[in-house]
Amino acid sequence: MAALPSAKNVPADFQNKTFLVIDDIIGVRSSLRITISTLGGVKIDMAANAADAINKIERRVYDIILCDYSLGEGKDGQQLLEELKRRRMIRSATIFMMVTAERSYEKVVSAVELAPDDYLIKPFSGEVLRLRLERLVNKKSFLAPIYDLMENQELRQAVRVCDQRLQAPGPYLLDLLRLRGELLLLLSDFAGARQAYQHILTMREIPWARMGLAKAQFFEENFVAAAEGFQQIVADHPNYMSAYDWLAKTHAALGDEAATQRVLMAAVAKSPRMLQRQKDLGETAYHNEDLATAQNAFESVLEFGKFSDFAEPEDYANLSRVFLDKGEYAQALSVMGNARKAFDHSAEVRLHAAVMDSMIYAKAGDQAAAEQAFNEARTLFEDTARKPEAVALDMVHACYQLGDQATGEKIARNLVKDNHDNAAILKRTEQMFQRMGLHDQGKELINNSSREVIALNNRAVKLAQAGDLKGSVELLMQAANQLGNNNVVVLNAAHAILTYIGQNGWDEALAHVARGYLDAVRERDPEHKKYRMLATLYKDLSAKFGVKG
Amino acid sequence: MTERGPHGTGMDIDFATVFAANIHEIKNLLFLHFNAIERASSEPWALGNPDAQKSLSRIKYGSSQIGQRLAHVLALYRIAQGRYELDIDYHEACDVLREIAVETRSLMEERGIDIDIGSCEGLYGFFDREMVRGILVNAVHNSLHYAKGKVLLSASLEEGFLRFRVEDDSAGYPAEILQSGGAHAKLDLGGGGTGLGLYFSATVAALHRNHDKVGFTRLANGGVYGGAVFSLYLP
């Protein structure tokens, strides 16, 4: 017989690799262990389920993870992978291979945003496993320099390396193009990202590229084009769940809350266990005054969130508010009673409960109880650092109901100032005033407060345009100190400082302030579209001026 | 409670779903079976025993064929339901062919057939690797049945299509199969073994689309060995 053509891949040395095999069936585990040992692997650990796997991965660094898609009770392989990536428990260099009996079973592979490195369809022979692993080892080492730069947050340099390698791409063309698109999105270079994804789409219609293009368009605030893109993905790939969420978000940005609700309902019908999506649906339906849908969604949040750390006191308040609006006061009170128990009377839950109670008693006509709850709420509100927008809104409502207009106005004004560019929150605030029969008054308050922030911003921009960069920095820092919770203002201040440093050289005192601003935003909203760009700019500048970043 | 029909509870069963779920289970069992055979062939009693190796290899071939068939049926079921989505990625032609050669090596050895890979270097394409692998393995299994001693796998670029080719030194396809052609292959329950495989291949090939181009399969006789030539064209 003729010699088999040898693989072009450099043979990998599996003896020094650490393996983790995850499968709920013991027979499959031991069978895979034997297969791996025939490849020369000796450092092989086993896990029977997702929890067991996480436990093992916390203790040891694995080079290669073989994971079955179905893991019996608990998380499946895809959910495990998502958790590992979300918690940054596996490095980019780790090979994660999903083993399935059938490629299209349950989840459609192409519709998964966080894909494993490869899929292995059962049955497979040891030799096929070797070929696949060798190919992945080669690919990972080809892409390693880019992964390293990404892990060091040197995103611009990572793009440059992608560009260099794209001169002679070979088998990793698509991987390079995909990484490049993701990097440009992270760098907030939305025009660049748009072009990158458009380029891929001229070669082939690929769902993740269509997704990337629509995201870039979304960030460029071309919401109509973005909605079309997300719509196309949902139509062609009904299991691409994150496309529904983005489509809903885009409809919301276009101000079409009815469409937002429609899309979220379609998504929830497909996968009801996603808490955040149920929550978004509940909020949208509530503001569309569809109380039945809102109740359903918020009840699902509590039901599915019972045993996870995702449920928050806010989720109980959301449901309680629906009962309040329906006039079911006993129910509304009992939901908050459950919340107090579920969160062991923490300050946060007591705040939510006191605000809700005061509104419920006020509407039910029990003035004494309402006032008592309101007084507690007011104290707690002042003492609590972390105040979700929903509780602030409820607080405003309660203030007006119980005749403390001054406090209500103050809280509303701060809420608007902290979120002057957040259309959804402004709209919700306006709607709340409307419900209290104070539409005009509310509108005026919102306009005045946000105008204040915008004016301050504009003055700083004018100073900068007139060449007074220092003056602009000072003004924006002043604004950031007043409006420390407003991400846009704080990031603008950081941006001004970094621009100033770029032109005038390193200034440690200013850099320290900018660092503080960036850290504050990262704490609150790490996905903020301007945050990553500025964090990278900071890094670039500290490298340029030889300061350890 | 709703009233039951005269045939009792059995009427409520969605047979297609039960069928699909069971095939899925069977595939899982087959995987264990497959591994057990692999393990058996490396146990001491079998290692130095050519007859045992031959028998085990035949059993392995049988189960891998069953596995292939089940995969085809499941894929066709999903396609019919409109629930099948291709997983399009960028792949190297040689990579795919190499894997098929490695996978079928022991069967080839046992039947005294040489499998070679012809030119395929530097060719890439956008396609669903698992599906393409299924199509080509099916073609190789056909060749295994009829080839006298040679099978050649190769790839080329033709008018914007990536063309995969499986050719052998058999007597070629019978006239009636050539006439119906891979693209129009019909399921024939009474006929020989190749019906489902060709039907599957033609159906999955056509799912591959790029702008106005659609994938297809072609059957011919001739080629470098003068036997059957199976071609898969991907846009």
Closest-CA distance, B102 to chain A, in angstroms, reads 7
Tell whether A325 is covered by a domain. Answer: no
- Condensed to tens digits (0 to 9), the pLDDT of residues A383-406 reads 887 788 889 999 999 999 999 999
Cβ within 8 Å, pair A125-B103: yes
CA distance B124 to B92: 4
**CB atoms A4 and B102 under 8 Å:** yes
A206/B84 Cβ within 8 A: no
Contacts of A126 in chain B (CB under 8 A): 38
Whether residue A418 lies inside any domain: the answer is no
| CB contact B19 to A (< 8 Å) | no
- Check A101 against B31: CB less than 8 A apart: yes
Q: How far apart are CA A25 and CA A218, in angstroms?
A: 44
Question: Closest residue of B to A5, CA-based?
Answer: B117
For B120, nearest residue in chain A (alpha carbons): A5
User: Do the Cβ atoms of B85 and A8 come within 8 Å?
Assistant: no
Q: Decide if domain B89-234 falls under CATH 3.30.70.2660.
A: no
CATH number at A77 reads 3.40.50.2300
Q: In terms of DSSP bridges, do strands A43-47 and A18-22 run parallel, antiparallel, or are they unpaired?
A: parallel
In B177-206, the residues whose Cβ lies within 8 Å of chain A are none
Q: Which residues of chain B have a CB within 8 Å of the CB of A237?
A: 85
Counted across chains A and B, CB pairs separated by less than 8 A come out at: 110
State the smallest CA–CA distance between residue A78 and chain B in angstroms: 16
d(CA A427, CA A253): 11
Burial string for A24-52 (b: 16+ CB within 10 Å, else e) reads bbeebbebbbebbebbebebbbbbbbbeb
Test B85 with A111 for CB contact under 8 angstroms.
yes
Contact call for B95 and A105, based on CB within 8 A = no
Cβ-based contacts of B115 with chain A (< 8 Å): 2, 4
Considering A109, A129, A145, which residue would you say is the last residue of a domain? A145
Give the minimum alpha-carbon distance from B17 to chain A in angstroms, rounded to a whole number. 12
Give contacts of B225 with chain A, Cβ < 8 Å.
Answer: none
Please indicate whether, in this complex, the C-beta atoms of A2 and B75 are within 8 angstroms of each other.
no
Q: Determine contact: A174 vs chain B, CB below 8 A.
A: yes
Which among A145, A166, A182 is the end of a domain? A145
Q: What pLDDT score was predicted for residue B176?
A: 79
Structure tokens at B234: 């991907």
- Residue A237: inside a domain, yes or no? no
- The alpha-carbon gap from B185 to the nearest alpha carbon of chain A, in Å, equals 24
**pLDDT tens for the 549 residues of chain A, in order:** 334 444 455 567 888 999 999 998 887 888 889 889 888 899 999 999 999 999 999 999 999 999 998 888 878 888 889 889 888 888 888 999 998 876 554 454 555 667 889 888 877 878 889 899 999 999 999 999 999 998 888 889 999 999 999 998 788 999 999 999 999 999 889 999 999 999 999 999 999 999 999 999 999 999 999 999 999 999 988 888 889 999 999 999 898 999 999 999 999 998 887 888 999 999 999 989 999 999 999 999 998 877 666 678 899 999 999 999 999 999 999 999 999 998 888 888 999 999 999 999 999 999 999 999 999 999 999 888 778 888 999 999 999 999 999 999 999 998 998 888 888 888 889 988 998 889 999 999 999 998 888 888 888 888 888 888 899 999 999 888 888 888 888 999 999 999 999 999 999 999 999 999 999 998 888 878 788 889 888 988 988 888 865
Q: Quote the ipTM score.
A: 0.80
Strands A118-121 and A95-100: parallel
How many whole angstroms separate alpha carbon A80 and alpha carbon A22?
A: 10
Question: A532: domain CATH number?
Answer: 1.25.40
- Please tell me the distance in Å from B141's CA to the nearest CA on chain A: 16
Of A79, A111, A145, the one marking the end of a domain is A145
User: Does A115 reach chain B within 8 Å, measured CB to CB?
Assistant: no
List CB contacts (< 8 A) between B24 and chain A: 101-102, 105
DSSP A20: E
A441 interfaces chain B, CB cutoff of 8 Å: no
Whether residue A270 is contained in a domain is answered as no
Identify the CA nearest to A384 among candidates A373, A371, A395, A369: A395
Cis peptide before A123 (omega within 30 of 0): yes
- Give the one of B87, B88, B103 whose C-beta lies nearest to A128's C-beta: B103
Whether A104 sits inside 8 A of B109 (CB atoms) is no
Residues 18-77 of A with CB under 8 A from B: 27-28, 31, 34-35, 38
Work out how many domains chain A is built from and give that number. Answer: 2
Find the angle CA(A3)-CA(A8)-CA(A10) to the nearest 5 degrees: 115
> Hey, what are A54's tokens?
């996480």
Q: Is the residue at A461 inside a domain? A: yes
For residue B6, pLDDT beyond 50? no
Residue B86's closest chain A neighbor by CA?
A110
Question: Comparing B15 with A15, which gets the higher pLDDT?
Answer: A15
User: Within a domain: residue A425?
Assistant: no
The domain of A94 spans 14-145
Q: Are A31 and B35 in contact (CB < 8 Å)?
A: yes
Instruction: Evaluate whether residue A163 is within a structural domain.
Output: no
Question: Which of A102, A135, A166 should be substituted to probe chain B, the one whose Cβ sees the most B Cβ atoms within 10 Å?
Answer: A102
Tell if the CB–CB gap between A127 and B28 is shorter than 8 Å: no
